[in-house]
Amino acid sequence: MSRATRSAFDDVPPDGFDEDENEAPSLDEAPEIDFDFEPGAVKAGTEIIRRFWTTLPTSPGVYRMFDHKGDVLYVGKAKNLKARVGSYARGQAHSNRIARMIAQTAAMEFVTTATETEALLLEANLIKQLKPRFNVLMRDDKSFPYILLTSDGPAPQIVKHRGARRRKGNYYGPFANVWAVNRTVNALQRAFLLRTCSDSYYENRTRPCLLYQIKRCSGPCTGEISSDDYVALADNARAFLSGKSNAVKDRMREEMQAASENLEFERAARFRDRIAALSAIQGTQGVNTQGVEEADVFALDEQAGQFCIEVFFFRNFQNWGNRAYFPKADRSMSADEVLASFISQFYDDKPAPRLVLVSHTIEDAELMAAALSSRVEHRVEVHQPQRGERKNLVDYAQRNAKEALGRRLADTASQGKLLAALGQSFGLDKPPRRIEVYDNSHISGTAAVGGMIVAGPTGFMKTHYRTFNIKSEELSPGDDFGMMREVLTRRFKRLAKEAPRTPREGDVGEPQAAAEGQAVPAATEALPDDPDAFPAWPDLVLIDGGAGQLEAARASLAEIGVIDVPLVGIAKGRDRDAGRETFFVPGRTPFKLPPRDPVLYFVQRLRDEAHRFAIGTHRARRKREMTKNPLDEIAGIGPTRKRALLHHFGTVKAIERAALEDLAKAPGVNAATARAVYDFFHANA
């Protein structure tokens, strides 16, 4: 088989099977396979694949394998679809992972493409969307922050940016985290005095703001600096961010020296401070490069069947940060396969730099480079360096990957011990894998929200956090019990619909035990196909409250038929002192944990995280409601018309007092819109 035609995730097809051939060899003479599980399922899956194989073309494309429930098992690409799919049906020398996948296959779908490059791009896109069980999966695919220097207004604005690049301007990045962006933007403010305010704030200024007073902005909004001089500052910032940092600093040094010679010491001091700000950006890099202007560095480390990929970002000879990823991959997969799959998905929604350095061999490196180049306006090189500065960068990244994975394994082991001790303290049959903690936040019933945080074997699972806006109008202000009932009812009704469970064999007497207030062992949903998957149902639910909150929670769950989820109430100690918490468990006498018990500290961390999350969500909702504009509630009034009305009348009060004829005269407002606005404010007239 040609190396360029292999999927990064597949085993090598049998010897003598060449995907470069137009016709695949016959499948009838394939020898038997020796599997370590029931061969009947494998044989059935092989027969299903054979039926699809007979009608496949020899063109490039992407294939998907489905199980009997319609869930996607695997997504792969091929230069020759008939040859690639045929390799699964020959029944020869497959690993256990591939054999399990074949055994579960009930159907297949195919998409043909013009080239193998298109197939590789489509494969990465489908893997990120569908998250197939047998592919390598990115667990954290959040977009990276960038610095945006706008060019769509009279005074360029410098801001941090995430998401689609719809606004005109220059984008610099990616940065590994928001902290790195904030630090850089603050330094650029001191160095180039560029504005960071929004356009609406900028257009309505009548005098300089505080940033001008503390020398963080040059005040273009009120004409404190001429338009030409401000544009020159923005050009210097672009030059610095584009890699011409030394030239920019040299010009500043010359101007500082000239100002000093002319006895303009205050002006010279300003240039001195600006040079110091730029030096701070360059001087805090973890790795300094001399010959690598623009590159992403990927280094993989494997320990105990887990993988860590450390990614470093280098732009303009500067290190713009790094991030560690822990992809989900089968233990039988090689490091080369995991890294190749990860990189394909990594660049699915972000542009690649000119150079991608890797720590392991990528067999489809040329194909991957061609695919990445097709999505940007420059050539991309995928390279595994063997010596020199590039090799030093990869080695540095690999050391970080090893340390990050070591810390994660240590944290996981520590977390496992805490979960085991927690389960023992609360009388669970086994250590909980998923813990849900609930808390409410409000001010006298206004802007009430409920928060749910989730913890598991690897710590806080923030992608599983949920918020609940309290919607019931029957609740009296401050009814915490009613709020908790609403939150739990909505949560578990939806959970029962999305992830229904089957009763466990041998569990008897649970309804009666629940009705009598006794503890009931927790049941979890069956996960036979992926035992390592994070469960959807909680093994333990913690309620921030005492006996009253716990009873409200138990009653609300019993009403919807959920009677086997362990509940624990956490009542704050006297004077709300940490360490004096009382725990309420159905069927047990309230109890306390020893003051220095690690389980007590662990529960406090869970409760504090739930409190932080709930109150943060409440504050955000309260802020939105305080700044809500009545025009937002009028159907047909979008941002453009709202802006036109406010520019024409000045305030919402003026719009409310305006006559129908005056509303119709506003730019961009037709008669129907004017009538809608008028009727909204005069409905009770």
- Please give the C-alpha separations between residue 268 and each of 193, 215, 257, in angstroms, as whole numbers: 15, 14, 7
Domains in the chain: boundaries: 3-130, 146-283, 294-407, 426-624, 630-681
Mean pLDDT of 525-548: 75
Note whether 673 and 660 are within 8 A (CB). Answer: no
pLDDT of 248-284, one tens digit each? Answer: 777 778 778 887 888 878 778 777 777 776 766 655 4
In order of 39, 45, 133, 227, 598, the CA distances from 130 in angstroms are: 28, 21, 9, 50, 40
| Dist CA 73 CA 94 (whole Å) | 16
Q: Which pLDDT value is given to residue 20? A: 38
Give me the pLDDT at residue 281, please: 61
Least trusted range by pLDDT, from 55-69, 130-144, 368-382, 517-531: 517-531
Q: For 3-130, which CATH superfamily applies?
A: GIY-YIG endonuclease (3.40.1440.10)
pLDDT at 592 over 50: yes
Fold of 426-624: Nucleotidyltransferase; domain 5 (3.30.420)
Quick check: do 294-407 and 630-681 share a fold?
no
How far is 496 from 537, CA to CA, in rounded Å? 9
pLDDT level of residue 26 (50, 70, 90 thresholds): very low
pLDDT tens profile 34-62: 444 565 777 788 888 888 888 888 889 99
Q: What is the CATH number of domain 294-407?
A: 3.30.420.10
Nearest residue to 566 via CA among 404, 431, 406, 399? 431
State how far the Cα of 40 lies from the Cα of 51, in Å rounded to an integer.
17
- CATH 3.90.1150.10 is the classification of domain 630-681: no
Report DSSP letters for 563-586, one per residue.
Answer: --S-EEEEE--GGG-TT--EEE-T
Q: What is the mean pLDDT of the chain?
A: 79
pLDDT score for 528:
42
Reduced 3-state DSSP string for 315-374: ECCEEEEEEEECCECCCCCCHHHHHHHHHHHHCCCCCCCCEEEECCCCCCHHHHHHHHHC
Q: What is the pLDDT of residues 468-505, one digit of tens each?
A: 988 877 777 777 888 888 899 999 999 988 888 765 44
- What secondary structure does DSSP assign to 588-647, as a single string? S--B---TT-HHHHHHHHHHHHHHHHHHHHHHHHHHHHHT--GGGGSTT--HHHHHHHHH
pLDDT at 298: 94
* pLDDT band at residue 526 under the 50/70/90 scheme: very low
First to last CA, the chain: 81
Q: What are phi and psi of 439, to 5 degrees?
A: -155, 150
Q: Torsion over CA of 212, 216, 218 and 223, rounded to 10 degrees?
A: -30
Give CA 463 to chain center in angstroms: 7
